[in-house]
Structures are given as C-alpha cells and as structure tokens.
Chains A and B, each alone.
Chain A
Amino acid sequence: MLKVKDLNVYYGVIHAVKGISFDVPNGKIVTLIGANGAGKSSTLKAIAGLVKPKGSILFSDKEIIRHPAHEISKLGVALVPEGRRVFINLTILENLRMGGFNKKISELEPLYEKMFELFPILKERAHQKAGTLSGGEQQMLAIARALMSEPDLLMLDEPSLGLAPLIVSEVFDILRELNKQGRTILLVEQNAAQALKLADYGYVLENGAITLEGEAKGLLENDEVRKRYLGED
C-alpha cells in the first residue's frame, strides 16, 4: 500500500532522515521504533506532507511526495499527531467533524455512530470541550478524529506518549481491533516492547537510517533490540 524509497528529510542544514526505504503492505501493522531524534516523527510528517522531503513515496502506486498535505489526506492517509493535538476549544463532536472535513454532511452521521461505538467514552462527552478530557481520552479522540476521514492508512505518532500503562494497553487493544477490521497501520513508537508485540513487521531507526528490519516477532527476540530498546542485559 505504501512504498517509501530513499526518503530524505532536511531541516535547514540538519539531515534528519537519511535515505530510508520501507514498505507498509495492505492490512498489516508496521512499526518504526527508535530512540529520540532517530527520525521517526519526521518520517511520518514527510508521508503526511507536513514537511517537504526528497525521495519517493508511493501510496497505492501513486507518487504523493509533491502533494500538499490536504490532498494527501483526501487520498486516504490520516495522521494521529504526536502529543494528541486535539482542538481543545472545540467540542468532541466538532473535533470529529474536523476529522471528516472533506466528507459530505450525509456521510458524517454514520461515522459518528461508528466512532462512538469504538470509543464509548466520547459519546458521553460529545458536547464537552476537548480540552476538558484527560490525556488518555484525548488520545482516543485523536485516533477517532483521524478515523473520521476513513483512511486506508492510519499513521500514529507515539500514541503511548505520557499515558498510564493501563491506558496504553487500552490504546493498543483498539489498534489491534482496527487492524482486525482491515485497517492498515503505520505506528511510530518509543515503547518498543508494546509496539513489536502488536506489529507484523518492524524497522529500527537510528540517527535517520534503518539499522535493522524484520518480522516483529523476530525483532523481539533479537539480542541487539533487547539490549538497546527493551533494557535487558
């Protein structure tokens, strides 16, 4: 579904992502793991069109690297940004409405129902401002908001950031559920253990380059990964 080839991201003179290539096959969960500053978030931003990268990004065999962000979103790529970034002064319903900005009004109602089924907590508070939600609830809202555009590819940037372990498992359960329903997911995580348990395939990023890749199960057992990211001797 998504084929990234020789992707480079520059911030001025800083070369954040140095020619990485990876695939996200249809219906799979792929995760990019790595330490702070490895270039994980930059990669996601590049795919979503929020930064202007060099290289090639094929989405459903279509080159999207020159597309502006709002058109990439229309093609079916949705990003759950790092740190949730919900619209705090809008109500939950309005947040969802923004997620489905390019949908027709008649399409929205069934989508709301779907989201409320997936995240019952949002239904109770539909008319509350998003700023009043807790961190975990905001993360749920951010995911629901991204799903409102019915994306073919859902990208999540550190969904476990700043959440209690129990809430993290809840979020990951929802991702597993979404994947079962056939959603393709690209997940960026620092929480390598959780991410690799969930994913089908994993890539390890270090200093802007891919150093390891393989089946997620395999990576979980890899000595190098265990030492560096799972904190084992």
Chain B
Amino acid sequence: MKIDRNNILTILAILVFFLFVWWGSNHLTAYAVRVWEDTLIFLMLSAGYNLINGVTGQFSLEPNGFVAIGAYVTAILILTPAQKESMFIIEPMVPWLANLHMSFLPALIIGGIVTAFVGFLLGFPVFRVRGDYLAIVTLGFGLTIRVVSNNTITITNGSLGLKGLPTYTNIWWCAVWAVIAMIVIMRIVDSAFGRAMKAVRDDEDAAIAMGINTLWIKQIAFVTAAFFEGVGGGLLASLITIISPTVFTFFLTFELLIIIVVGGLGSMTGTALATVVVVWGSELLRVVEQPMNIFGLHIPGIPGMRMVVFSILLIIMMIFAREGIMGQKEFSWDWIFNKIKGKRA
C-alpha cells in the first residue's frame, strides 16, 4: 500500500471510528450500543450484497440464505457438546458435529468459508440465467435454505432451532468485521476485477466479446459477498442468541435491498450512510407503532406501521431520487479537496 495523503486520511478516519466505538461502548446506553451493533452487522451484509447487485449488476435475492448458513455453522461450532445434547430432543445430533466445539473467531471464519463455498457452488447454476430470472432462482435458494434447515433435524434441530448461544458478539467484533468488509470490498471494486464487474453491469455481451470471462467475474463478486454475509450471519446469531428457520426470512433480504437502493446501487460509502439511516430510522420510527392520541383521536398501536412509513419513503425516493443518496459515486478524499480548492478559486 502506498503511503500518500488519501491512505493516511483513510487510516485516520478508521482510527477516529474506533475511537468513537471505544467512547460509545463506555458512554452510550445499552440500547444504543445494541442498535449500533445491528447497524454494523447490516453494513457488512449490505456491502456484500451491493457488490453483487450494485457493482456487478446481478439482481439477486439470496442474502437471507447466506446469512442463515453462516449463522447455523457458527452457532453449531460455538455451542458446547453438553448444550447440544440437551437441546436436540427430537433426534440426537450427528455425533461428529455434536462434539465439535471451538472459540468464536475460528467459528466465524469457518462460517464465512462454508457460506462462500455454498455461494461458489450456487453460482454455477444461477449465473446461467440473467436479469429477472436470476432474481427468481436466487429467491428460490433463500426459500430452499429455510426448508432444508427445517428438515435436517439432526444438524439444525429443525423448527426448534438453536438457543442459548453464547453472546460473544459485542460492538468491537461488529466494528472490526465491518471495517474489514468495507476495506476488502472497496479494494475489490477499485481493482481490475472491480472494473470488469462494472463492465458486466453495463453490458454483459460486450464484456464477453472483450475476452472477459464473465462467469468468473460474477463468481468473485458472489463468493466475496457470501463470505461476508456468512460472517455477518455468525455475528447476528451470537447477538440474538437464538436462531431458527423462521429468523432469516425474505424480509432480511428486503431490508438489505432497501439499504443498497437508498444508498445508491454500486456505491459502498452510500451503503454505509444508508445503513445508518435505515437501521436507526427503523428504530426511531418505533414511535409510530405506539398508541397515539392525535387531537383527541385515539389510535391503538399498530405493529408494522414502521414498514408502512418506510415503504412510503421508498416510493418517494424512487420518484424523486432514483439514484439513491450517492448514486454510483463514492465518497473520496479527492472530491473533498477539490471542493475546498474550488471554493478558494
């Protein structure tokens, strides 16, 4: 890595971010810390998702499947054999998995690698189709994972799910992994592979004619995203301490989709902004689900009102700001310096 102005500023920004994390973990309320943990995990998930959907332009709907795989693998690895034995009451767990136990970091990494491998295998059939068809087959994958986790009782404990997971996840785990994910993904976007991904997005046939092996390019995006979504799933599992087939539904994918569209398809810094806006927004909007008295009119609390408000916001965005917060642009130090210089001139 070159030591130039931009890289130094980036490292400083990351240090400031960790300073904020350190300050926050001491001074913020437990509730706020928890929401920030959610935000950072979602940042990781949506950055990976944006690499496929935004940068490579392959509209797909599989992240809930990837997150579920990562969550299950990590959960199985961090549970102690005794816990597993008491939990699997319908059928006992397969022995070699039941006796497997390790600490959090290797469990997360293995969760990521297993998910990446599943993504790699999945890439071959799904990338035979493009456009809407790709969305449909990847949506099918998400649903398949749910059915599989429901029925492989000796591995996942079926619909009972896994509970009592040790709570290793804290703000530091989330922050470090989010930063790693952002750095790795942004470096991929800036590399020759990233340019090829954008070429595939702009015109796949032309990209093929240029001698680009587009299947390979899409696989790089897919496997990278799968890895980080798997790790994110592991973090999420240890954060909510209980996972079952119904936890990772299509709504998770939908939420990530909102984030990357709001942030701007193809913009990682936009995704970061949008994650904060959407995750915090949906927390702050809890107000609208409470019983309210408006000018003497009593409205009982309606669960799901948040989603209504969000959907309306999304519609308004699609009409007035179709590109999202950042469009395809990235925040860059050069841009800031040019702004400052421009004002002086």
Q: Give Cα distance in the complex from A102 to B202, angstroms.
A: 19
Q: A94-B195, A97-B195, A101-B196 are in contact. Are A81 and B209 (CB under 8 A)?
A: yes
Do B209 and A69 touch across chains, with their CB atoms under 8 A apart?
yes
Cβ proximity bits A77-93 to B, threshold 8 Å, 1 near / 0 not: 01101000111111000
Tell me if A136 is interfacial: C-beta within 8 Å of chain B: no
> Within the complex, which residue of B202, B214, B328 is in contact with A87, where a contact is CB–CB below 8 Å?
B202
Cβ of B205: which chain A residues have Cβ within 8 Å of it? 50, 81, 85
- The residues of A that contact B196 with a CB separation of less than 8 Å are 98, 101
**Which residues in B have their C-beta under 8 angstroms from that of A149?**
210-211
Whether the Cβ atoms of A73 and B211 lie closer than 8 Å is yes
- Report whether A89 and B209 are in contact in the complex, using a CB–CB cutoff of 8 Å: no
B84 close to chain A: CB less than 8 A:
no
Determine the distance from Cα of A49 to Cα of B211 in the docked complex, in whole angstroms. 10
Classify the interface of chain B: helix, strand, loop or mixed.
Answer: helix
Least CB distance from A187 to B in Å reads 16
Q: Are A87 and B209 in contact (CB under 8 A)?
A: no
A98 to B214, CA, bound (A): 12
Check if B213 is an interface residue, CB within 8 A of chain A: yes
Q: Closest approach, in angstroms, between the C-beta of B73 and any C-beta of chain A?
A: 34
For chain A, residues 81 to 118, give those with C-beta under 8 angstroms from any C-beta of chain B.
81, 85-90, 94, 97-99, 101-102
User: B195-233 vs A: 1/0 string, CB under 8 Å?
Assistant: 110110111011111111110000000000000000000
Selected contact of A90 from candidates B192, B198, B213, CB within 8 Å: B198
Cα distance A86–B198 when bound, in Å? 12
The size of the chain B interface, using a CB distance under 8 A, is: 19
A74 to B211, CA, bound (A): 6
The count of chain A contact residues (Cβ–Cβ below 8 Å) is 27
Q: Output the nearest chain A residue to B209 by Cβ-Cβ distance.
A: A79
User: How far, in whole Å, are A98 and B192 apart by their CA atoms in the complex?
Assistant: 9
| A145 contacts B by Cβ under 8 Å | yes
> With an 8 A cutoff between CB atoms, is A70 at the interface?
yes
Residue numbers in B under 8 Å from A50 (CB-CB): 205, 208-209
The answer to the question of A9 belonging to the interface, with a C-beta cut-off of 8 Å to chain B, is no
A29 interface residue (CB < 8 Å to B): no
Q: Are B203 and A70 in contact (CB under 8 A)?
A: no
Task: Tell me, rounded to whole Å, the shortest Cβ–Cβ distance linking A139 to chain B.
Answer: 13
CB <8 Å contact, A86 and B328: no
Chain B residues with CB under 8 Å of A97's CB are 192, 195
Residues facing A in B40-70 (CB within 8 A) are none
Q: Do A81 and B198 have beta carbons less than 8 Å apart? A: no
- Answer whether residue A17 sits at the interface, using C-beta atoms and an 8 A cutoff: no
Contact A85 B195, beta carbon cutoff 8 Å: no
Are B212 and A85 in touch, CB under 8 angstroms?
no
Complex CA–CA separation, A86 to B202 (angstroms) = 8
Can you list 22 A-B pairs with a CB-CB distance of less than 8 A? A48-B209, A49-B208, A68-B213, A70-B214, A74-B211, A81-B205, A85-B206, A86-B206, A87-B199, A87-B202, A87-B203, A87-B206, A87-B207, A89-B198, A89-B328, A90-B202, A98-B195, A98-B196, A101-B212, A102-B211, A149-B210, A149-B211
Known: A70-B213, A97-B195; 4 extra A-B contacts, CB below 8 A, are: A50-B209, A72-B211, A94-B195, A98-B199
Question: What are the 6 closest A-B residue pairs judged by CB atoms, nearest first?
Answer: A73-B211, A87-B202, A85-B206, A70-B213, A79-B209, A69-B208
**B residues adjacent to A (C-beta < 8 A):** 192, 195-196, 198-199, 201-203, 205-214, 328
